[in-house]
Each structure stands twice: as C-alpha cells, then as structure tokens.
Structure 1
Amino acid sequence: MLGSDHRPLTGLRVLELAGLAPAPFAGLVLADFGADVVRVDRTGVNSSPDTLTRGKRSLAVSLKSPEGIAVLQKLLGPADDSGAWRADVLIDPFRPGVLERLGLDPQELMKRNPRLIVARLTGFRRQGPYSQMAGHDINYLALSGVLSMLGRKGDKPYAPANTLADFAGGGLMAVVGILAAVLERQGSGKGQLVETDMVTGTRYASIFPLTVSHPGAKLPMWDRPRGENALDGGAPWYDVYERIFVAALPADLCQEGKPEAQHQLDRDTWPDLATFLARGFLTKPRDEWTALFLGTDACCVPVLGPLEVDKAGRGPNEPQHESSAEARSGLSDFPLPAPRLTRTPATAPAGNGLFLQPGRHSLDVLEKAGYSAQQVDDLLRTEAVGNGRGRSHL
C-alpha cells in the first residue's frame, strides 16, 4: 500500500495493464481516491511517456513470458489467509481477444477468483464491423454521432482534443462501472465484467445535446444545423447576460447599434450581434475585461491558458499558495482530484514526479504478493520481471 490513510477507496487493490489515455486515467482516479494501483509495464523499457501515473506503483512484466503471465495470474487469483497482495480489480486496455490470447481470459480468471472485477475498455464497440480495428478518440467520437454536432457554422466538424471520447466516454465511464461493481460485490460477494467502449460511453456522456437535438423532442434550443443553435456557437449571447454586458461596453461602441434584449432570440439579429460583441471585446485587453466583469452576473470570464489555471482559476478570496503535497511534487500546475469529499477527500500523492519508471516497484509488489527472495531472483534472471534498476535486487 502507499501508506495509511482514510480515503474512500483505501484497501481496494487494482492491477492496471499499461495502455493509452482512458485506462491510465481510470487507474489515476482510483489511485487519487485511495486505491492501491499497480501498473503493469513492459520489461526492457527504462522510461514511459505516460503522465497519468500519479499515486501508482509500477511492476514490469514480460507478457511474452509464461513465467510473467504466471505472475499476473497469481496476482489476480483469490486471496488467502496470508494477506498477500491480490487484485480486486483488473483494468484491461486492449482490443477484444488480446487478454484471451495472453492466457488471461477474464472468464477463467473469474472462475478462479469469483470476487474479481475485470474492467475492459475498448474504443469501438466489442461487436460489430469496427471491433478489431485500430482507432483513436476522434474515430470513436465520429461513430458516436457527437463529432458531427461540434464546430462552427459552414465549417468542418471540430474535435475537442481527446477529452470527450478518451476521458469522459472512456476513463470516467470505466470508473463509474468499477465503483458500481465494487458496491454490488459487498452484497453478492461476486465480481463481474465491466465493459466500456468509447462510442457508447461518449453517447452517454453527451446525452443532453443528443436528446435536445433529437427531432422527436421538437425543442428550439438545438433544432438547426451545426453552429446555428443556442449552445453550439450559433448564439452570440451564449453565457452572456446581455444587459450587464452592454452596460460595461464603451459608450461610443454602443452608439453604433446597441443590442436590445427583446431581440436576443431573434436569429436574424445574430450576425450583427456577433460582430458587435467581437468589436467590443477588441477594445480592451483580456485582463481589463476580467477585472470589469469580476463580481457581476454577466457570465463573462477570461479564457485561461493551461499554466494559468491553478493560480488565476482560484476565487479572489481563496489562498494563493500551493498545498504541501503540490509543493513537494512540483506538479502544482496539474489537475487535482475531483469531486471533493469533505470528510475523506482524495489526494494527489507526491513522490512519482511527472513520469513513473517502469518496474520501479517490482520488488516491493512481488514481496507483498508472497514471493520469496529466491523466486524474485529467478524471475529477474529469466527477465520475466524487470525492476527498472538492472537485473539484481541486491
């Protein structure tokens, strides 16, 4: 374990097979809330570019070695009276069929350990013509029907980086499923498969725009093509209380065509209103507008850069200092855990830095799993396991 604490998931043991974006994010969220997350990295690799390793430990295992697979099977096996480390949850980031080919068939694992929860994340749906294809966030977003809704009028669809499919539809949905399975297991004593695909997950995370824009809803909020609706960039007044905003604009600008509140929903006025707002904002620097609107109900805030958020994003009456954990880790510009629990809050443990060296904690994990020193030496010698510091643990 990473230490004694009272976070809500303390005591939950997670084995995360290293993957890209959504699976590591799911593991990070669980780790932030107290789970003991062991990330399984490849052997023979001295570094990893993955930044989603906060609060985790790394065990380097060769997935091509029968001895390495046997190590994972043991870690995923049933708990015994010795208290040795055994996983409650396995996070699988691979395409359908990969675990089975490795000798880690989830059905077989759950027969041996009925309490095991196996969370499987795929990009495309597990059945269908795309199931065995490689893909990325933008591909899943496209098949979800949501990408076609994003972008400006008359322009091509525009993807919001890889936040929606990978992280909202993938990683966060996997966390929800894992926690639901953990709660259900308290009553039944049984684990289960938690299957998340990013096409379905993205549609679920986007249920509001998908339902309000449905022809059957007959709602004027989102009944037009992309970029012509109230919340997709079509309405120039979105997130602006018109009267307060106009009151703050320079008088000479208002004289050229002051908008009237009664015309706010008149789509014919939107092009002129968009020009008016664009010209108005160009009359002052961003920080002057920030000061002008601060404390009002104009719903007008600055667009912050990624490195501005922790300081400028805090309220004016909040302390502007780093927490001790942030200061020690040097990662105060990186997102902190959410949501906030008042009695048992999540934390962002210091110690790993931005990157986690593959195999850094192999020896500790194997010891906690009940391996003897000789057994560890044998695994290192055959390179079924790596420790990130050479072959010897002495």
Structure 2
Amino acid sequence: MTTATTPGQGPLSGVRVVELAGIGPGPFAAMLLADLGADVVRVDRPDGPGLGIDPARDVTNRNKRSVVVDLKASDGPARVLDLAERADVLIEGYRPGVAERLGVGPADCHARNPRLVYGRMTGWGQDGPLADRAGHDASYIAVTGTLGMIGRPGEPPALPANLLGDYAGGSLYLVVGVLAALHHARATGTGQVVDAAIVDGTAHLSAMIHGMLAAGAWQDRRAANLLDGGCPYYGTYETADGEYMAVGALEPRFYAEFLRLLGLDGLAGAHHDPARWPELRERIAARFKSGTRDDWTARFEGTDACVAPVLSLREAPHHPHLAARATFTEHDGLVQPAPAPRFSATPTRVRTGPALPGTGAQDVARDWDLPEATA
C-alpha cells in the first residue's frame, strides 16, 4: 500500500490515481475517487481543458491536483509513466489504440508497475464494430434500448441530459470496476485493465426491465408501463403556476393516501384497472391544476402519499430535507453536490476547489517523489 497522502479524508486515503484529462465520464469518475479520499493527479493538456467552461468552476475537478504534460512531446510519455509507476490506478478516456500510440497504454504502464489498475472509459468499448467511431451519450444510450423507454408516446424520446449514459452507465461502472480490480491487485499483486463502456453499463442498468419484459410485465413501448409514466399514479403533473409535482403512489396504501389528500373520490379501484387510467389521469391532472406547486407541497408535506415538488437545479439545495442533510455544500462560493455516499468511520468532504491546470506540479513532484525532470 502506498503512503497516505490524504490522511483522514475518506476511505480511499492513500490510494494514488492518475487521470489523463478528458471530458464527461472520465473526470466524473476521477472526482468520485477523489471525493472518497484518493490522491488524484490530473494530467492536463497544454492547450487547456476540453469542457469549455472556466476551470475554476469545473466541479468535476475538485479534490484533485493537476500537472500539465504534452503527451506528443518527446518527454511526455516518460513523465506519465513516472506517475503510473507510483500510482495504484490510471484512468484514460481516449478512443481505442490512442493511449498505445502515445506510449502510455496498458503494456507500457504495466512494464513499469505490474500492480497498476488501468481503467479505460469509452462509449462503445475497446472492441466491436463501432469501437473506433465517434459518439456521445445520446448515441450510446440509443442503441441499448434505454433511450427508447423515455418520453411520451407519439413524441420523440426524451434525452435525460447526459446522466443516464455518461455518468450512470459510464462513470459509476468505471469506479466499480476500478475498485474491484484494486481489491484484486492488493490481494494478488497483479493489476489489470478495466474496460468500462457506456453501452455495457447502460444496458446493465436495464436488467430489471429486461426481466419484466421476459415475464410479460413490461410492454416494449414508451409510457405504457408502471414506471415509465404509463400509469397515472406514477408521473408528473402541471400545477396552476406552470410548475410540476411528481407522483409515485404505487402501493395501495400510498395510493389511498394520495387520493385522500388530493380530494378525489370514487377512484379507489381505478389503479388496478388500466381501462380507467385515462379517467384517473384526467381527474388527477385537473385537480393539480387547481393549486400552485407550493399549495400542493404544503398539502402533501409529512405524508406517505409519495408526492414531491419538481425543483430546478437552483432550487434543489434549498429543499428542507436536502438542506438538513447537507446534500449540497458550498466551497469558495461555489454551490455543488456534496460527496456521496457517507461513511461513519472515514467521512468525506470537499477538501479543495477545482484543480487549475498545472497548479499542483511542485506538490505532486514532492509527494510522489518524482524525478526532477517529471516536475
């Protein structure tokens, strides 16, 4: 085990991670490892960040340090390999074969550090007919069947930002894979390559739905099912002020409480009868339109009806429950989601703001005992 460089700052304190700069799921995965206490060194490019926003506001680079390396320069690959030699984990998000051509592929790194966990983050994966093609979140989730599940019938599928593919199917699966491989490396002394593909992870997320489909409990079309907006007691409704409420009153007792608080009668058995769903949806919609979002939020407060206001990004940090739990935090004036999950013995926090390109070079050289040329 390497010497701890972030003592008392999360369960991964002492784990060293090299992140080859990219955009999207790779930086988020590295942020999650950093939030958990790992010492993450981001290797930035000389031409600056790829996201196109002010680096000081790029929350995905919090809790990290940055060095700038030109991998196309004569000494670039050697500088990265010096870091890889001292690391537990390396993460890259290039197209297949690019890291090898740059001289920092798995074979190059494992020659210097056989224990290294080499994490690869791509959309299509390291092999297959589309492996070397460009793509983005929308194209990856489209072919997995998951995008086609989202939205209203007769309308285009609704894009869930890039949360489903990049971050759920990509970043989180990369982190799970890296941590599993790290456990294996510490038990055996042997590292390995983790091939995290967004298409694989996103498909994996739909496992329960595929089971329901096979059992005849899911229709392969949008808004025709229990959990996709097809049923009227699991969905969203507009309020009088143009805002929305979210309803998830699935179980009978929650449904009964929902109807009572909404002030609707004669619908007790409607949730079991799809033929009555149009009537049920119409009456629920009309009722919600009779009051504002704040009115309904107050009405359902403290109940088990499973109803909540649909908040904007700027509103969410002020929700009483999230505020009480400090689900969001502020660091140097930047409001952002707090690290998750939570740990009883090794609590995490936002230790530093977004790492500005190159600003950690001297500290990293000292802490990682790098050759002078690498610094």
Q: TM-score range by the shorter chain?
A: 0.7 to 0.9
Aligned-pair CA distance for 1:9: 0.3
Q: Does 1:283 align with 2:264?
A: no
**Range that drifts further, 268-277 or 26-35:** 268-277
1:72 counterpart residue number = 80
Cα deviations by residue, 1:319-345 (Å, 9 ceiling, x for unpaired)? 7x899xx454323x3111211111212
Larger gyration radius, structure 1 or structure 2: 1
Q: Does 1:314 align with 2:327?
A: no
Cα deviations by residue, 1:292-319 (Å, 9 ceiling, x for unpaired)? 1111111011111112222215269x37
Q: Which amino acid aligns with 2:23?
A: L
Aligned-pair CA distance for 1:197: 0.3
Aligned-pair CA distance for 1:362: 1.5
Preserved contact between residue 5 and residue 14 of structure 2 (Cα < 8 Å): no
- CA 171–224 in structure 1, closer or farther in 2 if over 3 Å, else same: closer
Which TM-score applies when normalising by structure 2? 0.87
Mapping 1:223-242, distance limit 5 Å? 223=219, 225-238=221-234, 239-240=248-249, 241-242=254-255
SS across alignment from 1:264: helix
Cα deviations by residue, 1:40-68 (Å, 9 ceiling, x for unpaired)? 10114386474311100011101111212
Cα deviations by residue, 1:210-257 (Å, 9 ceiling, x for unpaired)? 3212xx3222xx23521111111110012123322222235xxx4xxx
CA distance in structure 2 between the partners assigned to 1:2 and 1:295 by the alignment = 44
1:388 counterpart residue number = none
CA distance in structure 2 between the partners assigned to 1:133 and 1:313 by the alignment = 45
CA distance in structure 2 between the partners assigned to 1:265 and 1:293 by the alignment = 23
Preserved contact between residue 63 and residue 355 of structure 2 (Cα < 8 Å): no
SS across alignment from 1:301: strand
Q: Which amino acid aligns with 2:105?
A: D
Cα deviations by residue, 1:116-158 (Å, 9 ceiling, x for unpaired)? 1100011013222211111000110011121111111222211
1:43 counterpart residue number = 46
Match of 1:265 among 268, 272, 285: 272
CA distance in structure 2 between the partners assigned to 1:2 and 1:11 by the alignment = 5
Match of 1:34 among 28, 32, 37: 37
CA distance in structure 1 between the partners assigned to 2:320 and 2:124 by the alignment = 36
SS across alignment from 1:195: strand
CA distance in structure 2 between the partners assigned to 1:369 and 1:3 by the alignment = 12
Q: Does 1:218 align with 2:231?
A: no
- CA 372–87 in structure 1, closer or farther in 2 if over 3 Å, else same: closer
1:243 counterpart residue number = 256
SS across alignment from 2:126: coil
Q: Which amino acid aligns with 2:337?
A: P
- CA 150–336 in structure 1, closer or farther in 2 if over 3 Å, else same: same
- CA 243–121 in structure 1, closer or farther in 2 if over 3 Å, else same: same
SS across alignment from 1:157: coil
CA distance in structure 2 between the partners assigned to 1:328 and 1:149 by the alignment = 37
Q: Does 1:190 align with 2:182?
A: no
In structure 1, the gaps of 5 or more residues are 78-85, 380-394
Preserved contact between residue 77 and residue 103 of structure 2 (Cα < 8 Å): yes
CA distance in structure 2 between the partners assigned to 1:3 and 1:89 by the alignment = 16
Cα deviations by residue, 1:243-293 (Å, 9 ceiling, x for unpaired)? 22222235xxx4xxx442222121111112111111111111111111111
1:52 counterpart residue number = 60
Mapping 1:58-137, distance limit 5 Å? 58-77=66-85, 86-137=86-137
Q: Does 1:148 align with 2:148?
A: yes
Q: Supply the RMSD in Å over aligned alpha carbons.
A: 2.2
Question: Higher RCO, 1 or 2 (CA under 8 Å, sep at least 6)?
Answer: 1
CA distance in structure 1 between the partners assigned to 2:312 and 2:64 by the alignment = 28
Q: Which amino acid aligns with 1:266?
A: D
Match of 1:274 among 251, 276, 281: 281
CA distance in structure 2 between the partners assigned to 1:104 and 1:259 by the alignment = 68
Mapping 1:151-162, distance limit 5 Å? 151-162=151-162
Preserved contact between residue 153 and residue 234 of structure 1 (Cα < 8 Å): no
Preserved contact between residue 293 and residue 300 of structure 1 (Cα < 8 Å): yes
Q: Which amino acid aligns with 2:152?
A: R
1:80 counterpart residue number = none
1:342 counterpart residue number = 344
Preserved contact between residue 5 and residue 13 of structure 2 (Cα < 8 Å): no
**Range that drifts further, 356-365 or 35-44:** 356-365
CA distance in structure 1 between the partners assigned to 2:63 and 2:322 by the alignment = 27
Preserved contact between residue 222 and residue 228 of structure 2 (Cα < 8 Å): yes
Preserved contact between residue 146 and residue 210 of structure 1 (Cα < 8 Å): no
Instruction: Give me the identity figure in percent.
Output: 41
CA distance in structure 2 between the partners assigned to 1:36 and 1:132 by the alignment = 31
Preserved contact between residue 9 and residue 348 of structure 2 (Cα < 8 Å): no
Which TM-score applies when normalising by structure 1? 0.83
- CA 95–44 in structure 1, closer or farther in 2 if over 3 Å, else same: closer
1:384 counterpart residue number = none
CA distance in structure 1 between the partners assigned to 2:73 and 2:277 by the alignment = 64
SS across alignment from 2:345: coil
CA distance in structure 2 between the partners assigned to 1:204 and 1:117 by the alignment = 22
